Amino acid sequence: MAPDDLPAPTTDARTCPLSQINAFDPDLLQDPYPYFARLRAEAPVFRDPNTGIVSVSTYDLIMEVNRQPLVFSNDFATALRSGSTQGVDQDEMAILSKGWPVTNTMLTADPPAHTRYRKLAAKAFTFKRVEGMGDYVAKVTNDLIDTFVADGRCEFKSAFANHLPMTIIADSLGAPRSDMGRFHQWSDAFVVQLGGVSDKAARLDAAEKIVEFQRYFVDRIEEKRANPTEDIISDLVHADLSEEGDPRKMDYSELLSILQQLLVAGNETTAHSLTAGLYYLISNPDQLARVKADPDLIPGFVEETLRYLTPTNNMWRVATRDAEIGGFPVKAGEMILVRYGSGNRDDAHFPDANRFDVARDNARSHLAFGAGIHTCIGASLARKEMVTAFPILLDRLKNLRFQDGRNTFRYSPNILLRGVLELHLAFD
């Protein structure tokens, strides 16, 4: 849905009628929780009369949607490729035509295709491989801290949080760390395309960067085809679909689609979660004291951070047929916004859900990684990075505090991804 088609910005989502609220208003996205609370209380399934988008906001109804992937499909890429539910932008398609066609593999595919591709990609995230990465993640963490610790201050997201997951995904792909700056740009471009609410200029710029990504990784694919090494690209290039009755190797479009999703999933959401974790601890000194006094609380703190932030705050679905969600009729072809951030603040599932509690006993049942067959494939790696990095950060950065007057605590104005843009810290 293009921004120009939406209502004027909303001044108070607490009192304005739901039908008059612009759910894509950047100011509302800074603090969507009062709006989420009203949706849960007044219209758990809500068809926005301005956009036609159906929002699903309670924990139980979100789970109901995710349990029916063939009814509420992830094959939403066509509707969003141009950032509009109204059709494909020809200028954007002209740019994208310089690259390779899009193949729906994991996030934007349904069974049986989704099952086939996910099975191949999941080999990169086996329990044994991820569990064996602890020392390596710790070394990357310490190396990054070494670059700024002597200064006694940093902007944490750009100095650390952006670099840890991107370094790990670059190493896992077998790509040079020197190219990580380009990876960040490409990851941002895919986020623009997936969000479906950016203006035309942003979508055209994103299209250019997506073609750059494709050309770069086609070169890497050919390198690994000729000289395989121990990395994800080599694994994917030399894998075949024989287990699914198709003995061929994957083509460029299939490989690029999977690599794109690994790049985005391995970067943005983890960076936001690392940043949010320190933000929430410093904002809640009692919780910071508990974690520092009892390192066994770290895994629970990680889960509570994921719940409280929900870095993938919303996700698209499209109805494949006329259906119902909690008794609410949904028509075939309607776009659905599954509001994970709202489900994770649902008091019916998480008592006192707006309170940050590192010892919350059911925090791990959060929806931050999605649910059902589309649960984030990199969830185990994200957890490993966070569980490994946070104790080191808390040990080496003494007396953590916000830099005076430097923080605005602004969140990214993105309908899908949520995270603090900057976090200026001081420490001893």
Residue range 42-56: mean pLDDT, rounded: 96
The two three-digit tokens of residue 136, written as one number: 């390596």
Long-range contact pairs involving 281-285 (C-beta distance under 8 Å, separation at least 24): 281/400, 282/400, 282/401, 282/402, 282/425, 283/356, 284/356
Check residue 81 and give its pLDDT: 53
pTM over 0.75: yes
The CA-atom distances, in angstroms, between 8 and each of 14, 119, 145 are 16, 44, 44
Check residue 106 and give its pLDDT: 84
Check residue 2 and give its pLDDT: 38
Contact 25, 3 (CB under 8 A): no
Check residue 197 and give its pLDDT: 62
Check residue 200 and give its pLDDT: 85
Mean pLDDT value across the chain: 90
pLDDT in tens, 208-237: 999 999 999 999 999 999 999 988 899 899
The two three-digit tokens of residue 308, written as one number: 């409280």
Check residue 105 and give its pLDDT: 85
Confidence of residue 92 (pLDDT cuts 50, 70, 90): confident
**Best mean pLDDT range from 49-53, 186-190, 246-250:** 49-53
Confidence of residue 6 (pLDDT cuts 50, 70, 90): very low
Residue range 261-285: mean pLDDT, rounded: 92
- Domain positions in the chain: 3-426
State the residue for tokens 């670099």.
Answer: 163
Check residue 243 and give its pLDDT: 67
Check residue 263 and give its pLDDT: 82
Check residue 3 and give its pLDDT: 38
Does residue 299 have a pLDDT over 80?
A: yes
Contact 298, 358 (CB under 8 A): no
Confidence of residue 7 (pLDDT cuts 50, 70, 90): very low
pLDDT in tens, 364-403: 999 999 999 999 988 999 999 999 999 999 999 999 999 9
Confidence of residue 264 (pLDDT cuts 50, 70, 90): confident
CA 25 – CA 9 distance, rounded (Å): 5
Check residue 129 and give its pLDDT: 86
pLDDT in tens, 331-371: 999 999 999 999 999 999 999 999 999 999 999 999 999 99
Contact 275, 157 (CB under 8 A): yes
CA 152 – CA 261 distance, rounded (Å): 36
Percentage above 70 pLDDT, the chain: 93
The two three-digit tokens of residue 375, written as one number: 């649960």
SS in 3 state form for the chain? CCHHHCCCCCCCCCCCCHHHCCCCCHHHHHCCHHHHHHHHHHCCEEECCCCCCEEECCHHHHHHHHCCCCCEECCCHHHHCCCCCCCCCHHHHHHHCCCCCCCCCCCCCCCCHHHHHHHHHHHHHCHHHHHCCHHHHHHHHHHHHHCCHHHCEEEHHHHHHCHHHHHHHHHHHCCCHHHHHHHHHHHHHHHHHHHCCCCHHHHHHHHHHHHHHHHHHHHHHHHHHHCCCCCHHHHHHHCEEHHHCEEEECCHHHHHHHHHHHHHHCCHHHHHHHHHHHHHHHHCHHHHHHHHHCHHHHHHHHHHHHHHHCCECCEEEEECCCEEECCEEECCCCEEEECHHHHCCCCCCCCCCCCCCCCCCCHHHCCCCCCHHHCCCCHHHHHHHHHHHHHHHHHHCCCCEECCCCCCCCECCCCCECCECCCEEECC
Contact 376, 382 (CB under 8 A): yes
Contact 180, 170 (CB under 8 A): yes
Check residue 33 and give its pLDDT: 97
Check residue 90 and give its pLDDT: 85
Contacts with 48 (C-beta within 8 Å, 6 or more apart), sequence order: 19, 23, 54, 55
Q: Which CATH class is domain 3-426?
A: mainly alpha
pLDDT in tens, 122-150: 877 888 889 999 999 999 999 999 999 99
Residue range 307-333: mean pLDDT, rounded: 96
Check residue 362 and give its pLDDT: 98
